[in-house]
Structure 1
Amino acid sequence: MSLSSSFGSAASAYARHRPDYAQAAVRWALEFAPGPRVLDLGAGTGKLAATLVAVGADVVAVEPDPAMLTELRRAMPAVRALPGSAEAIPLPDASVDAVVAGNALHWFDMAVAGPEIARVLAPGGVLAGLWNIMDDRIGWVADLERVSGSAAIGPRDTLTRWRAATAGMLIPSDGVAVRFGSAEQADFPHGQCRTADSLVATLATRAGMLVMPEPEREATLGRIRDFLGSRPETAEGEFTLPMLTGVLRARRR
């Protein structure tokens, strides 16, 4: 199983445990969109689509994984949800005012997806990637990152890593920047209420964890449980996990 195709095996857990997106981040992502039509690309179980609907967007969702698409349709029956991918978008030319991707843009083959995204966008339309990231400026979060390892907390899962990993995501060499202007980054507070058990369950839905051999996976999750149980911030009851929604946006030329 590849990393990008791993999520369908945990679609219901993904829907239960993954965070939604900060409304302020979504509004900033769509600030320059010429209209309300928004494509949620790689929409998963509808986490971002729900926030888009809440801020008044006219949403169509596209998702390649059948299990994720089923979960999305169950959770949001009023949203038009289609099978498809970033590399083959099942929409007409210039049919949306913004294309957004929640924790998904890094999975796209931008050499192919870039022209497809530009094709479906109206002139002046917006492309935006959004990621939910942990704030590693907080001491215990930085310690959790070290304990967890890269399978549970990957290259875009903390603020420091996200800034570095996405800064050059839309550069001329990927064939996208010729169609889009300069990209901008911004991040918005989005703390999440968690318990030690629910945070372990969330980290268990990371792609690296889903493809890990079971003994290694259980050992990693056990190490995380032990760490959370040892910290006064997380050992007892509910706590706020310091998170942010990071946004990378660019406008179609």
Structure 2
Amino acid sequence: MIRPHRRSGRSSPIRPFDCPPGHGTSTQSRHPAHRAHCSSSSTQKSRSSSTRSRRYSSRMVIHESAAKGFAAGADAYERGRPEYSPEAVERLIAELAIGPGSRVLDLAAGTGKLTRQLVWTGAELVAVEPVAEMRAKLQAVLPVVEAIEGTAESIPLPNHSVDAVVVGQAFHWFDGIRAVSEIRRVLKPEGALGLIWQARELSRPWIERLDAIIDRVDDGHPRFRTMAWREAFDRTALMAPLGSATFRTVQRGSPETIVDRVASISYIAAMSEGRRAAVLDEVRVLLAADEDTAGAEVVELPYTAHIYWTRPRQAAAGPSTGLVVSVNTSPGGVPKRPIAGARMHWRGLEGDAHSEPEPVHGTPEQAACLYALEAIERVRADGHQAFPGTYGENFTLLGLDWAVLRPGDRMRIGTAGPLLELTDYATPCATQERWFTNRRYGRISQRKHPEDARWYAAVLEEGYVAPGDEVHLIRTA
């Protein structure tokens, strides 16, 4: 279905209502409502910001329970957490092609439980861990491994610098879309990601009661078993579909080892001393009374090891063929978050809204906002925060040469999806400054970095868009 819209013309492109004059645009006039909006946003925020100590770092944000609990429970973690199933680790090593000459990142490495099971491969190992107490344990056990402070959402490594990333018992704590975007950024194009969790098997009555004790004190913390962590993989095409396998393993230790295993759980370790002691005493009473564990010097706790692996997804070869890696919406404001897909209407993407509607945003010429994944990686390399949807784009695309785009170029998404026509650059605004070091949001201005600027597009034909759809660039002149 073809919808009429105001054609900008190559000689007189439309004026984006994203930013006041003087902020990275040659257009000298702006709608008064938008001038007031941007001026108000900028004056309400402090301009002071400290320079980051590392080029790739940004503000580290760790889940409060994880930060507090793992700091307090580092000793119990080291004593009570079992090693990973050797068979599961060997399978991950094979799937990720880890070996001599590989550079491998252990992300959220903790005390190095998984790291030490990779040493024999001969790979160069790098551990990133945000909690100082956990990192100190790792360095004491593995002094030859480089251990760096950092988070999954802000990995302090250069673009495309590692062959594999592994994450043990931790991905459920991450902000999924930011973590997957960062992991993809640091992986080489042919690299791979591996995830592993070990979940208790409720095969005996005492283990069911142990689980009940643990569940009773959990007030909604992220957990592997909810599978909420999968959303960043299922709702984007940043990575290929996950492969998976399971293995059985058993932890053997004294009753106090099982107590330490419970004590190492972040939200239990983060409790007040009195409350934590009461929970651990309840575990001791259980172990002393149950017929399977009473008087036992060695207690067996069975687990299922769940492993997953994937690789960065690539666009088809060719300068005019790209890939939709993320479809993003929000009720207004930024960031927009990934969704499984939506219909592109001539006035905008279904389910998307703007804090400042038309005429500031949402005109037919601004029906869709587009951005390049390659630009996100370049902006991150300069130390700013960037991930799909950060700056308000509806479609994050991969594989197109962003530097040569121009008004009037068209993009067909999918085989029966929408047909878009580029209208003009989307100039950055003060509402996005929080993502930038020293609030330098001009980093994505078309005047200084056209290859890293966003584009607006009008909709010539409506249609459905989903992550994984191919994008075909059509030159009109």
Report the TM-score range of the alignment, normalised by the length of the smaller protein.
0.7 to 0.9
> What aligned pairs does 1:115-194 form with structure 2 within 5 A after superposition?
115-151=181-217, 162=225, 164-165=226-227, 168-173=230-235, 177-194=236-253
* 1:170 shift after superposition: 3.9
Q: Is 1:43 matched with 2:109? A: yes
Aligned twin of 1:10: 73
Deviations 1:167-213 (A, max 9, x none): 7344343xxx3111111332222211122222112201111101223
Which of residues 248, 252, 264 in structure 2 aligns to 1:205? 264
Is the 1:100–1:127 Cα contact (8 Å) retained in structure 2? yes
Is the 2:176–2:229 Cα contact (8 Å) retained in structure 1? no
Partner Cα separation in structure 1 for residue 75 and residue 153 of structure 2: 25
Is the deviation greater in 137-146 or in 16-25?
137-146
Deviations 1:65-92 (A, max 9, x none): 1121111111101111111111121222
Q: Is 1:19 matched with 2:82? A: yes
Describe the shift of the 1:148–1:67 C-alpha distance in structure 2 as closer, same or farther (beyond 3 A): closer
TM-score normalised according to structure 2 size: 0.48
Is the 2:253–2:298 Cα contact (8 Å) retained in structure 1? yes
**How many residue pairs are counted as aligned between the two chains?**
246
Is the deviation greater in 211-220 or in 194-203?
211-220
Q: Is 1:66 matched with 2:143? A: no
Partner Cα separation in structure 1 for residue 214 and residue 153 of structure 2: 33
Which of residues 227, 231, 236 in structure 1 aligns to 2:290? 231
Deviations 1:122-165 (A, max 9, x none): 1232222212221113443223212443447x9787xxx73x52
Partner Cα separation in structure 1 for residue 261 and residue 75 of structure 2: 12
Partner Cα separation in structure 2 for residue 124 and residue 150 of structure 1: 44
* 1:231 shift after superposition: 1.3
> Partner of 1:106: helix, strand, or coil?
helix
Which of residues 33, 52, 70 in structure 1 aligns to 2:96? 33
Partner Cα separation in structure 1 for residue 73 and residue 212 of structure 2: 25
> Partner of 2:264: helix, strand, or coil?
coil
Partner Cα separation in structure 1 for residue 249 and residue 78 of structure 2: 18
Is the 1:170–1:183 Cα contact (8 Å) retained in structure 2? no
Q: Is 1:251 matched with 2:311? A: yes
* 1:218 shift after superposition: 2.1
Describe the shift of the 1:28–1:81 C-alpha distance in structure 2 as closer, same or farther (beyond 3 A): same
Partner Cα separation in structure 1 for residue 75 and residue 140 of structure 2: 11
Opposite residue 124 of structure 1, the aligned amino acid is E
* 1:27 shift after superposition: 2.3
> Partner of 1:140: helix, strand, or coil?
helix
Which of residues 157, 164, 171 in structure 2 aligns to 1:98? 164
* 1:60 shift after superposition: 1.0
Decide which structure has the larger Cα Rg and report it.
2
Is the deviation greater in 75-84 or in 40-49?
75-84
Is the 1:27–1:55 Cα contact (8 Å) retained in structure 2? no
TM-score normalised according to structure 1 size: 0.86
Aligned twin of 2:278: 219
> Partner of 1:248: helix, strand, or coil?
strand
Describe the shift of the 1:155–1:84 C-alpha distance in structure 2 as closer, same or farther (beyond 3 A): closer
Is the 1:151–1:206 Cα contact (8 Å) retained in structure 2? no
User: What RMSD over aligned residues (CA atoms) do the two structures have, in Å?
Assistant: 2.5
Is the deviation greater in 1-10 or in 228-237?
1-10
* 1:240 shift after superposition: 1.7
Q: Which has the higher helix share?
A: 1
* 1:11 shift after superposition: 1.8
**Larger RCO: 1 or 2 (CA < 8 Å, sep 6+):** 1
